Amino acid sequence: MSGRPRQARVLMVAHTTTFLTELSLFGDLMRKRTDAEVIFYCSFAHWTANEFAKTCAANEMTCLLEPLAESLAALGLASRNKDWANPSPSGAVSPLRRLFERGAAALPGVGPSFIAERLAFTTRSTEINALLAAVAPRLLVLGGDMPGYDTSLFVKLAHAAGVPVMVVPSTMSNGLEQAEVYYGDPNYRVSGWARSLIAASFPKWVRRHHDKRLFRCPPGRILAMELAGIAPPEPWVFNSGYADAVAMESEAMIDYYAEAGMKNDRMVLTGSLSDDAMASRLSQAASLRREICGHLGFEPERPMVLTALPPDFLYVTGGRPQCDFQDYRQLAEYWIDSLAELQDCNCLVALHPSVEVESMRWIERSGVRIAPWITANVVPVCDVYVASISSTIRWAIACGKPVVNYDVYRYRYTDFVGVPGVLATEDQNEFRSLLQRLVGDSQFRNEISRAQAAVSSRWGLLDGRVGDRILAVADRLSGIVTDAPAPARETIFH
């Protein structure tokens, strides 16, 4: 349908590089199979956003960047937004709300951040409203919805403009990840009478982790979100807000979020668009393997290990004293050395999307190369997948690949506990031992592969119909014309 005149617009908003993984696939799908014009907006400033904008331009799609006002003006989309820099008051303020604002602003240690967050929300509301007015989308698509970003503000303002909202996620979290990261940061602790008052007033924002009570966001932001009416019902759970539909990657993900407390009425089982890419490549795995090995100078008959090198989490406030490594370069060197020691093995390294490839060339050595392809495109070809508590592990499970989950930071997340083909460790020696056994003992590797395959269908839908199901959800929400046949597996969980 790409040659037909565009009848509608779809706005896709990415708040971080990782959101672009699935959003880019969805944008390309809609460009090819619907009558909609796709407009992306990267609401973060980063080199990856600039590179993505170039890719969009090459594919005849628009990508708005920061600063948003300049980006819209450059495309001639901002002519109706004369009051961009001078937001008007939102109407009369009730005495109760005014009292709430004054009380929050006066709280010791909290008031200044509350005022700053309130001003930021006011300014941001003006920008988002201008964006919605300029683009006039029939559908808003987010890559995730979580209180650390302004995604809930997008949802609220889109609904006020009569625009439905769909979430196409690419990451997973039940809140344990945030609790571990925030544990060493005093900004998130419930301490003192002012913070204790906020915790008692809004208990859903508080979680006990180990020996501390923690806020999901700094308390000033919590108060600002509550006052703005954009607080999610389950702040610790990703995508628990008020989007009209959340495209769920698998039955396992639905169970995962339901157990974490997310309501089922907006979860729609579609599969992940990465599943379609993996399904296609699984059927061509042998030829793709030869192609990859030829490109990199590998011997195709050797076992292939694909590893997602964990990003640097040692920089966070409080550091990560539980980790054996206090310097990220040492961590990366140990990880790569463990791969290089494997005998007669091809090793591919997948970098985090936010990491520039050239900055990590130093890790390459004989038998170990950085993969110049999207991770999901290589998973179907590998024999073993190695990661550290990464959401990408679900891709390997779906493809029936043995996984070594080396929790190098000792976060001890529970995401993949009990999955028979995921071998978990947090010990350096056991990590190397597992790698060597999986690579050197084909019988053991095949045994773990069979165990993984037995549960793979719960973790991904590799039937090649994910695109049909996701397009059907978009059509149901917005009436966008697609060429997708009626899906056999779109299931709404009530």
Q: What is the pLDDT of residue 200?
A: 97
Domains, the chain: 8-173+222-272+464-492 (3.40.50.2000), 276-458 (3.40.50.2000)
Q: What is the pLDDT of residue 207?
A: 97
Q: What percent of the chain is helix, strand and coil (3-state, nearest 5)?
A: 45, 15, 40
Q: Identify the bridge partners of residue 347 per DSSP, sorted by sequence position.
A: 305, 368
Backbone angles phi, psi at 423, to 5 degrees: -95, 110
Of 1 and 77, more confident:
77
Residue 299 corresponds to which tokens in the numbers above?
A: 């011997």
Q: What is the pLDDT of residue 76?
A: 82
What are 412-420's contacts with CB under 8 Å, separation 24+?
Answer: 412/180, 413/176, 413/177, 413/180, 413/389, 414/174, 414/176, 415/172, 415/174, 415/256, 415/389, 415/391, 419/452, 419/455, 419/459, 420/448, 420/451, 420/452, 420/454, 420/455
Examine the pLDDT at 270 and tell me if it is beyond 90.
Answer: yes
Cα-based distances in Å from 238 to 12, 255, 262, 288, 390: 18, 14, 9, 35, 15
Alpha-carbon distance of 396 to 383, in angstroms, equals 10
Mean pLDDT over 239-265 rounds to 94
DSSP 296-360: HT--TTS-EEEEE-----TTSTT--TTSS-SSHHHHHHHHHHHHHTSTT-EEEEEPPTTS-GGGG
Residue 184 corresponds to which tokens in the numbers above?
A: 């060493």
Examine the pLDDT at 487 and tell me if it is beyond 80.
Answer: no
Alpha-carbon distance of 320 to 5, in angstroms, equals 53
Q: What is the pLDDT of residue 77?
A: 80
Encode pLDDT of 326-350 as tens digits: 999 999 999 999 999 999 999 999 9
Q: How confident is the model at residue 1 (pLDDT cuts 50, 70, 90)?
A: low
Over the range 390-412, which residues count as b (16 or more CB within 10 Å of their CB) and which as e? bbbbbbbbbbbbbbbbbbbbebe
Mean pLDDT over 132-136 rounds to 96
Encode pLDDT of 29-65 as tens digits: 999 999 899 999 999 999 999 999 999 999 888 999 9
Alpha-carbon distance of 166 to 159, in angstroms, equals 11
Q: How confident is the model at residue 88 (pLDDT cuts 50, 70, 90)?
A: very low
Alpha-carbon distance of 199 to 143, in angstroms, equals 29
DSSP letter, residue 188: G
Q: Which ranges in 388-483 belong to alpha helices (H)?
A: 393-398, 428-440, 442-453, 466-478
Q: What is the pLDDT of residue 156?
A: 98
CA–CA–CA angle 328, 381, 451 (5° rounding): 90
The percentage of the chain sitting over the pLDDT mark of 90, rounded to a whole number, equals 86
pTM of the model: 0.93
19 close to 144: Cβ distance less than 8 angstroms: yes
460 close to 275: Cβ distance less than 8 angstroms: yes
252 close to 459: Cβ distance less than 8 angstroms: yes
Q: What is the pLDDT of residue 486?
A: 58
Q: How confident is the model at residue 3 (pLDDT cuts 50, 70, 90)?
A: low
The percentage of the chain sitting over the pLDDT mark of 70, rounded to a whole number, equals 93
Q: What is the pLDDT of residue 85?
A: 44
Examine the pLDDT at 98 and tell me if it is beyond 60.
Answer: yes
Q: What is the pLDDT of residue 14?
A: 98
Residues whose CB is less than 8 angstroms from the CB of residue 430 and which lie 6 or more positions away in sequence, other chains included: none
Mean pLDDT over 292-312 rounds to 95
Examine the pLDDT at 84 and tell me if it is beyond 80.
Answer: no
Other CB atoms closer than 10 Å to residue 494's CB: what's the count? Answer: 8
Average pLDDT, the chain: 92
| C-alpha dihedral sign at 407, 411, 415, 417 | positive
Q: How confident is the model at residue 5 (pLDDT cuts 50, 70, 90)?
A: low
Examine the pLDDT at 178 and tell me if it is beyond 50.
Answer: yes
Residue 100 corresponds to which tokens in the numbers above?
A: 């709430």
Examine the pLDDT at 494 and tell me if it is beyond 50.
Answer: no
Beginning with the edge strand found earlier in the chain, give each strand of the sheet holding 403-406 in spatial order: 368-370, 346-350, 304-308, 384-387, 403-406, 422-425
Mean pLDDT over 404-421 rounds to 96
